Amino acid sequence: MNTMQVSFGEKKDNAAQAEHAVKMSARDVKVFYGDNEALHGINMDILENEVIAFIGPSGCGKSTFLRCLNRMNDTIDTARVTGLVTLDGKDIYDRSLDVVQLRAQVGMVFQKPNPFPKSIFENIAYGPRLHGLVDNKRDLDEVVESSLRRAGLWDEVKDRLEAPGTGLSGGQQQRLCIARAIAVSPEVILMDEPCSALDPIATSIIEELIDELKGSYTIAIVTHNMQQAARVSDKTAFFHLGNLVELNDTREIFTNPQDSRTEDYITGRFG
Amino acid sequence: MSTQRIDGHISQRFDEEMEGIVSDLLAMGELVTEQTESALFAFIRGDVALAQDVISKDTRINELELEIDDHCIQILARRQPAAGDLRAVVAIMKAIKDLERIGDQAKRIARIAVKLADADERYQKQYGEFELIGSHVISMLQNTLQAFREMDADKALAAALQDKSIDSDYEAILRQNMTYMMEDPRNITRIVEMTWVGRAIERIGDHARNVCEYTIYLVQGLDVRHKDDDQLQAIVQSRPKR
């Protein structure tokens, strides 16, 4: 009975997708590490309130591309990005743009949970304070609580908000990092292998969370776990050797991919 | 691409498992073809021993259905197949159901063959139409299996289209049998039984067509169920080659 309800829900989502606006867009995006061209001109639209998964073998460029979406590649000295990346139609590589502000709008969750070596409360409070999103302690408390609630962590930590964030389990730490990203009211959340360091139960909880969050945010997730991409995403993009080979509805990619390289990868014919 | 491969996985064991269900399905298909052929032969020639043999062998077909089903479930549970592999497993799980039903129809024919085995010489002419429809259905079954073996959508389409001639053969049998019944009402019981045989063969054609449709799904990823011949042909042939 439950599974039937879920599948009806998915159908409705798919029908609604047609009306989703373009949230982020990439045109002819190339990334160079020194002289080495790592991404060969990627074109992609990411739609609002949709989960898009990037899959592909190691070194295919999926993480590199994800990092273009909030200018994380800026932090690598040898990296150079060309082409156009837009958020709500605005060029995010524009010189006048505030990168700190961009990274609040386009948040990121990393492979390894990386809470600050501070209390659980401070982990969440840091961003809103930095961005001046709150005026007083009461507002701050509210943001911390609502962020932890949205990340499904509140009930587990509400009695120990002053305990160090690093003392939580791996899965809890990852949800803390998601809560931290949410606290600054992002529009897009980028996730780079968010579950690869987690056990299956913690992974399921994060996947469930992704499903809930997509109502409010646009989510792009890099994953090595193809079943995870199949479970959580609406769209799947397959990268290979620095190219975007195929981008389609997840239901199509996993049942009837159009490119033989996609098929070979998702069926375990090369890795 | 109008063919599909099931091997070439990094895991050789996965290749073996996939090849296992494909070859088991083909073996099951060959067995039901044989059963159909024997049942028809027994019916036409009044060979009771052969008909009994068909009836007893039907259990083996049922067992094969269960075995293949179980292998498919294991692959779904343990390999989480995707794309062409997933379509192959799903197609096989559906195809074995139709093959099992073909087996049931063959058994039905065999039972009628036993019942009517004491035929007088004068009735023999009535079996002519069955030779024809029989040869058509056997040919369709063989082509259906060949299309599956080669995972060739064009061949599956051609085999599916053979169903039409079997349907018209059945129509002819119906018309002819009505004539026989009118000629001599004492024949009615016998002729009704013979009509059941025609009906069973017609059903076998329908099941074979289903298997062809699953083969097309397997190869091209297109769901072509519930389409008429023209639609089927148009869809399969319009599919862009990869």
Q: Which pLDDT does position B91 carry in this prediction?
A: 97
Q: Is residue A43 part of a domain?
A: yes
Q: Are A230 and B85 in contact (CB < 8 Å)? A: no
Cα–Cα distance between A141 and A230 in angstroms, integer? 37
Q: What does the pLDDT look like over A58-72, one tens digit per residue?
A: 999 999 999 999 999
Strands A188-192 and A235-240, by their bridges, are unpaired
Interface probe for A, chosen from B6, B85, B87, B89 (most Cβ of A below 10 Å), is B85
Number of domains chain A is built from: 1
Q: Which pLDDT does position B1 carry in this prediction?
A: 47
Window 72-111 of B, Cβ < 8 Å to A? 80-87
**Is residue A197 classed exposed, middle or buried when 0-12, 13-18 and 19+ CB atoms within 10 A define those classes?**
middle
Q: Is residue A139 part of a domain?
A: no
pLDDT: which is higher, B2 or B49: B49
Residues 6+ apart with CB under 8 A from A112: A197
Tell whether the model's pLDDT for residue A15 goes beyond 50. Answer: no
Q: Is residue A66 part of a domain?
A: yes
Strands A235-240 and A51-55, by their bridges, are parallel
The two three-digit tokens of residue B150, written as one number: 């080669």
Residue A227: closest C-alpha in chain B: B80
The shortest C-alpha distance from B88 to chain A (Å) reads 10
Q: Which residues of A touch B (CB under 8 A)?
A: 226-227, 230, 253-260, 262-264, 266-271
Q: What does the pLDDT look like over A149-195, one tens digit per residue?
A: 989 899 999 999 999 999 999 999 999 999 999 999 999 999 999 99
Measured between beta carbons, the chain B residues lying within 8 angstroms of A257 are: 83
Strands A79-87 and A22-33, by their bridges, are antiparallel
pLDDT: which is higher, A8 or B181: B181
Q: What is the pTM for the complete model shown?
A: 0.86
Tell whether the model's pLDDT for residue A19 goes beyond 90. Answer: no
Residues 6+ apart with CB under 8 A from B193: B112, B115, B116
Q: Are B14 and A255 in contact (CB < 8 Å)? A: no
Tell whether the model's pLDDT for residue B2 goes beyond 80. Answer: no
Tell whether the model's pLDDT for residue B172 goes beyond 50. Answer: yes
Q: Which pLDDT does position A10 carry in this prediction?
A: 46
Measured between beta carbons, the chain B residues lying within 8 angstroms of A55 are: none
Residue B75: which of B142, B19, B123, B36 has the closest Cα? Answer: B19
Q: Are B10 and A256 in contact (CB < 8 Å)? A: no
Residue A230: closest C-alpha in chain B: B82
Q: What does the pLDDT look like over B45-101, one tens digit per residue?
A: 999 999 999 999 999 999 999 999 999 999 999 999 999 999 999 999 999 999 999
For the B12-238 domain, the top CATH level (class) is mainly alpha
Residue A231: closest C-alpha in chain B: B80
The two three-digit tokens of residue A79, written as one number: 């990296």
The shortest C-alpha distance from A252 to chain B (Å) reads 8
- B45–A contact, CB cutoff 8 A: no
Neighbours of A93 (CB within 10 A): 17
Q: Is residue A134 part of a domain?
A: no
Residue A254 is nearest to which of B1, B9, B83, comparing CB atoms?
A: B83
Q: Which pLDDT does position A3 carry in this prediction?
A: 40
The amino acid occupying position A102 is L
- B151–A contact, CB cutoff 8 A: no
The shortest C-alpha distance from B228 to chain A (Å) reads 23
The per-type count for chain A, helices as H runs and strands as E runs, is 11, 10
Q: Are A260 and B83 in contact (CB < 8 Å)? A: no
Q: Give me the interface pTM, i.e. the ipTM.
A: 0.81
Write out the DSSP string of B195-237. HHHHHHHHHHHHHHHHHHHHHHHHHH----TT--HHHHHHHHH
CB B10 within 8 A of CB A271: yes
Q: Are B83 and A269 in contact (CB < 8 Å)? A: no
3-state SS assignment for residue B240: coil
- B242–A contact, CB cutoff 8 A: yes
Q: Are A260 and B86 in contact (CB < 8 Å)? A: no
Partners of A236 in beta bridges: A53, A248
CB B65 within 8 A of CB B28: yes
Cα–Cα distance between B25 and B92 in angstroms, integer? 7
Quote the DSSP letter at residue A258.
S
Its domain, for residue A189, covers 17-114+166-266
The shortest C-alpha distance from A46 to chain B (Å) reads 24
Residues 6+ apart with CB under 8 A from B103: B31, B32, B35, B58, B61, B62
CB A25 within 8 A of CB A65: no
The two three-digit tokens of residue B237, written as one number: 């042939």
Q: Is residue A69 part of a domain?
A: yes
Tell whether the model's pLDDT for residue A2 goes beyond 70. Answer: no
The amino acid occupying position A134 is V
The two three-digit tokens of residue B28, written as one number: 């099951």
The mean predicted confidence, pLDDT, of chain B is 93
Task: Give Dmax over CA atoms of chain A in angstroms.
Answer: 57
Stretch A246-261: mean pLDDT: 95
3-state SS assignment for residue A186: coil
Domain boundaries, chain B: 12-238
Stretch A192-210: mean pLDDT: 91
**Is residue A40 classed exposed, middle or buried when 0-12, 13-18 and 19+ CB atoms within 10 A define those classes?**
middle
Q: Which pLDDT does position A5 carry in this prediction?
A: 42
CATH number where A38 lies: 3.40.50.300
A115: left (phi over 0), alpha (psi -120 to 50) or beta: beta
Q: What does the pLDDT look like over B141-155, one tens digit per residue?
A: 999 999 999 999 999
Residues constituting chain A: 271
CB B57 within 8 A of CB B35: yes
The mean predicted confidence, pLDDT, of chain A is 91
